[in-house]
Amino acid sequence: MPLIEAEGLSIEFPLYHIGARSLKKRLFAASRLREDESHRIVVAALRDLSFRIRPGERVALVGSNGAGKTTLLRTLAGIYEPVGGRLVVEGSIGTLIDPGAGMDMDATGRENIRLRGLFLGLSEAECDQLAEEAGRFSGLGEFLDVPVRTYSAGMSVRLSFASATLMNPQILLMDEWFLAGDADFMARAEERLAQLVEGADILVLATHSMDVVRKWCTRAIHLAGGRVVADGPVEDVLAELPGGTG
Amino acid sequence: MDQVIIPETTRRYVRDAGDQQRVQRALADLGQGLARWRLARALAALDIRNRYRGSVLGPFWMTLSTAVMVAGIGVLYSALFRLPLREYLPYLAVSLLVWNTISQIVIDACGSFISSEAIIRQMPLPFTIHALRYVLRNAIIAAHSLPLIVVVFLICGVTPGPGAVLALAGLALLVLNAFAIGLFLGMICARFRDIQQIVTNVMQLLFFVSPVLWKPELLRENQVWLPLNPVYSLMETVRGPLVESGASTIIWISALVYTVLACTIAFAFFVRFRSRIAFWV
């Protein structure tokens, strides 16, 4: 049974490559920067999060820039390991976080789709099938065999969307980027996304768009400064957001 | 639209900061990473293609530059060392190739994780894949230079005996060490960005203190100390069987000891710091 369970989840980013010494002097001004036990300056990206997401829930992560939305998505995906607390994730995970993830600009569209398949752990035959499907869906036609470097912005969006959404995970982690695209392609893209979301048991979506939240989600978690400030049904959480109903 | 069926293996993972199970997770990382060598191979092939994009000779530039070096240094140093050219040239060719490979591997090891930053921060993959990718790309580049050895051997009329098969064991040791160094230096260099410069300088020094151009015999009674140099021992397990009818037992023992040491240290660091790599790159 797909499930996400976090108890006191914390993520801290160490700041190594900037002048930590000068930063220490100004430390107390900014509350999210602190010095940890081995005297490193760390940014508390997520602080003591506890929540439980059950099958069937469509969760929106809302909050201003830097609130920790994408970091939380990456942590749920298993990229960052918590420095504090406990995280249990059950179920196959699909991530739509960065459109260009793992893309090679010098390889052709088809090669990139196959690479995507390998990243997902597919066999060679399955990769061929994937290339076939994604090629058709992206509508790139003959450009599929041309290096991605020569693509227009719209074309690379199509390619990454097509290759990234060919999966049917139980838990779908999505950044709002995937809801932005050129109008022509979005009609088809939205249909595909709807399929994907309906097929998944759990959706976690980071977004700024309140329309998107109302349309897709049943529950909202409002993050601010790396903490959960509100968690509940969409309308309740949105009503309390600064800026009113968005 | 038809959907591609992606295997829906239900997986469960628990990340508990209080009970990290580091050893099990590191072993699982190694196991899963090695099982997905196809991905590492595809990425390594892309690395090589991108590195030599638009170049006519591609990786064969390495072969060519080594060939020029072998010819130039061969003539000069065979005169300096008063060695017959036919005897010195095969030694030098194998030496330079093995040295170039080792040196490139060590320097490239510093970037084994940094160069995969974009992937590490976007996708949950076993870190072993990135180390494997770097080993494979260096192995493929090194393989391009093999024809040079054949050519030099033919010109000088050297026919390696059946003992030359042992060079394969030497190569296997080299690969193991490359993997361990890739994990170790990859992590250290991701955390401390200055290490890469230090490593480059150390490798330059090692070129002169290791018997690459010169033969160990030139050290006379002092050559008993040479096995203390890991680069010499590892190089000799490949070079010895090919051009000097085998390497001595002490060489094999020291090479094995260094390999075990390298693997142990790398694994210990991997167990301890694996979960930090994503924050470092």
The answer to whether B258 touches B178, Cβ cutoff 8 Å, is: no
In chain B, the residue whose alpha carbon lies closest to the alpha carbon of A14 is: B279
Closest CA to A189 of A199, A197, A198, A179: A179
Nearest neighbour of B1 by CB, restricted to A106, A167, A192: A192
pLDDT greater at residue B109 or residue A246: B109
Instruction: Say whether pLDDT at B179 is over 90.
Output: yes
Interface of B with A (CB under 8 A): 1-18, 20, 36, 38-39, 42-43, 46, 49-50, 53, 118-125, 191, 193, 275-276, 278-280
The answer to whether A45 touches A15, Cβ cutoff 8 Å, is: no
Work out the pLDDT band at B142, boundaries 50, 70, 90: very high
| Chain segment B16-58, per-residue pLDDT in tens | 877 778 898 899 999 999 999 999 999 999 999 888 888 888 8
Task: Check A80 against B123: CB less than 8 A apart.
Answer: no
Instruction: Say whether pLDDT at A52 is over 90.
Output: yes
Chain B positions in Cβ-Cβ contact with residue A129 (cut-off 8 Å): 4
The answer to whether A222 touches A241, Cβ cutoff 8 Å, is: yes
| Chain segment A1-20, per-residue pLDDT in tens | 789 999 999 998 887 766 55
Integer Cα distance of A67 and A80 in angstroms: 16
Q: Beta partners for A44?
A: A12
Instruction: Say whether pLDDT at A30 is over 70.
Output: no
Closest CA to A113 of A72, A145, A81: A145
In chain A, the residue whose alpha carbon lies closest to the alpha carbon of B194 is: A17
Lowest average pLDDT, out of A21-25, B128-132, B271-275, goes to A21-25
Instruction: Say whether pLDDT at A238 is over 70.
Output: yes
0.90 surpassed by complex ipTM: no
Domain spans, chain A: 3-92+204-240, 103-167
DSSP state of B2: -
Chain B positions in Cβ-Cβ contact with residue A126 (cut-off 8 Å): 4-5
pLDDT at B230: 93
Q: What burial class does residue A152 get, using C-beta atoms within 10 Å of its C-beta: 0-12 exposed, 13-18 middle, 19+ buried?
A: exposed
Instruction: Say whether pLDDT at B10 is over 70.
Output: no
Integer Cα distance of A138 and A157 in angstroms: 9
Task: Check B6 against A81: CB less than 8 A apart.
Answer: no
pLDDT at A178: 63
Q: Decide yes or no: CATH 3.30.1490.20 for domain A3-92+204-240.
A: no
Integer Cα distance of B60 and B50 in angstroms: 14
| Chain segment A83-133, per-residue pLDDT in tens | 889 999 998 888 888 767 778 888 898 988 888 888 888 888 888 888 888
Task: Check A78 against B36: CB less than 8 A apart.
Answer: no
Task: Check B15 against A121: CB less than 8 A apart.
Answer: no
| Chain segment B199-244, per-residue pLDDT in tens | 999 999 999 999 999 988 888 888 888 889 999 999 999 999 998 8
What is the residue-wise DSSP string for B101-159?
HHHHHHHHHTTTTGGGHHHHTTS---THHHHHHHHHHHHHHHHTTHHHHHHHHHHHT--
| CA-based end-to-end distance of chain A | 34
pLDDT at B229: 93
Domain spans, chain B: 23-48+57-280
pLDDT at A183: 67
Angle, CA of A93, A94 and A99, to the nearest 5° = 150
Integer Cα distance of B35 and B57 in angstroms: 33
- Average pLDDT for residues B118-128, to the nearest whole number? 88
Instruction: Say whether pLDDT at B255 is over 90.
Output: yes
**SS3 label, residue B5:** coil
